[in-house]
Amino acid sequence: MTDKKSHKANVLEDVELSASELVTHNPWRILQNFTDARIGLGRAGISLPTNELLAFQLAHAQARDAVHLPLDVQTLADDIRSLSLPVVPQSPIILHSLAENRVTYLQRPDLGRRLNEVSQQQIIKLQQSGEVSCKEYDLAIVVVDGLSSCAIQDNAAALINALANELRDDSNRLGQDWRLAPITIVQQGRVAVGDEVASLLNANAVLVLVGERPGLSSPDSLGMYLTWAPKLGLTDVSRNCISNVRPAGMSFMEASHKAMYLLRESRDKKISGVALKDRTNTHDTDQVTSSANFLLAKP
């Protein structure tokens, strides 16, 4: 009996690995200096180590939450009102698309591109009562939740502030005002809903701030879309896009600088979309002609 017992104990000891031996680390993890890709994660057997598995799950959970968390419209409206923008009224107008809820929104992009009737009437009533001017505006800024509410919740007010500064500086420089329409917020909206809002407001151009499809490492990415002469039925061909606006991506300052360039060009040439090229300096891609890299280093 005793022998058998001790034999069993020995077998158990043989397979008992210390926790540090359970994961094979990859020495090339240091190459993460070159890329945000999840390289050199190491392995347990041939599988992901537990910490990496959970880190991935967290990133996915944050991206999912970004899609499904409803926008806190009141807080956002308060944030925007407190910017004291040169608009009347200072409180943003809160609107809703034809997509009643998130599940419908995700499956019916067509409904997210249109205002519901209540929202259409709301704008018309504000114009009839004189609370909103019926005169032409140069620009409407339309804030749309899109696919990431946190992109809008966290970034929209600060970005609008930076934009307002650019617009003010530009007006001072050229002695020509940018007449800004009241800010609008659209829930369950897609980019194209901005065209309908802007055309109801009689704006010559629209800048839509929308929550982008969240990436695993970028749940809070905001996109800006410019359209000249916005009206129903336009497609992406008529729009200019500035993407990946977020604290860890393109800064609010750089994004509003680019937007200002496009707005000026758009107003001068009365165009937007593929015909309007962004010629601000960018470092979007590594344009070095050599393919030299560490894998090809000579001995």
Partner 1 sequence: MPATYQHILGSKVYHFKSLAELMAKATPARSGDRLAGVAAATDEERVVAQMTLAEVPLKTFLNDVLVPYELDEVTRLIIDEHDSVAFQAISHLTVGDFRNWLLSDNVGTAELRNVSQGITPEMAAAVSKIMRNQDLILVAKKCQVTSAFRNTIGLSGRLSTRLQPNHPTDDINGIAASILDGLLYGSGDAVMGINPATDNVQQAIKLMHLMDEVIQKYQIPTQSCVLTHVTNTIEAIEAGAPVDLVFQSIGGTQATNTSFGVDLSLLAEAQQAALSLDRGTVGQNVMYFETGQGSALSANAHFGIDQQSCEARAYAVARKFNPLLVNTVVGFIGPEYLFDGKEIIRAGLEDHFCGKLLGLPMGCDVCYTNHAEADQNDMDNLLTLLGVAGCSFIMGVPGADDIMLNYQTTSFHDALYARSVLGLKPAPEFEVWLHKMNIFTDEKRPSLTSSIPDSFAHSLAPFSGSGV
Binding site for partner 1 (CB under 8 A): 24, 26-28, 30-32, 34-41, 43, 46-48, 52, 56-57, 59-60, 63-64, 66-67, 106-110, 147, 213-219, 283-297, 299
Residues ≥6 apart with Cβ < 8 Å to 191: 113, 144, 146, 208, 210, 223, 225, 236, 239
Enter the tokens of residue 220. Answer: 């809070």
Q: How far is the CB of 253 from partner 1 (least distance, A)?
A: 20
- Judged by beta carbon, residue 27 or residue 175, the one nearer partner 1 is 27
Nearer to partner 1, 45 or 175 (CB): 45
What minimum distance in Å lies between the beta carbon of 294 and partner 1? 6
Least Å distance between CB 237 and partner 1?
Answer: 12
Task: Compute the least distance from the CB of residue 57 to partner 1, in Å.
Answer: 8
Task: Check residue 113 and report its DSSP letter.
Answer: T
Residue closer to partner 1 (CB basis): 126 or 147:
147
Q: Give dist(CA 118, CA 186) in Å, integer.
A: 12
Closer by beta carbon to partner 1, 215 or else 273: 215
125: its two tokens: 């009533």
Q: Which is nearer to partner 1, 59 or 158 (CB)?
A: 59
Rounded CA separation 186/60 (Å): 26
Task: Give the tokens for residue 293.
Answer: 């890299």
Helix H or strand E segment including 239: strand 239-245
H-run or E-run covering 226: strand 222-228
Residue type, 138: D
Q: How far is the CB of 174 from partner 1 (least distance, A)?
A: 33
Residue with smaller CB distance to partner 1, 147 or 260: 147
CA 124, 147, 205, 81 torsion-angle sign: positive
Smallest distance from the beta carbon of 215 to partner 1, in angstroms? 3
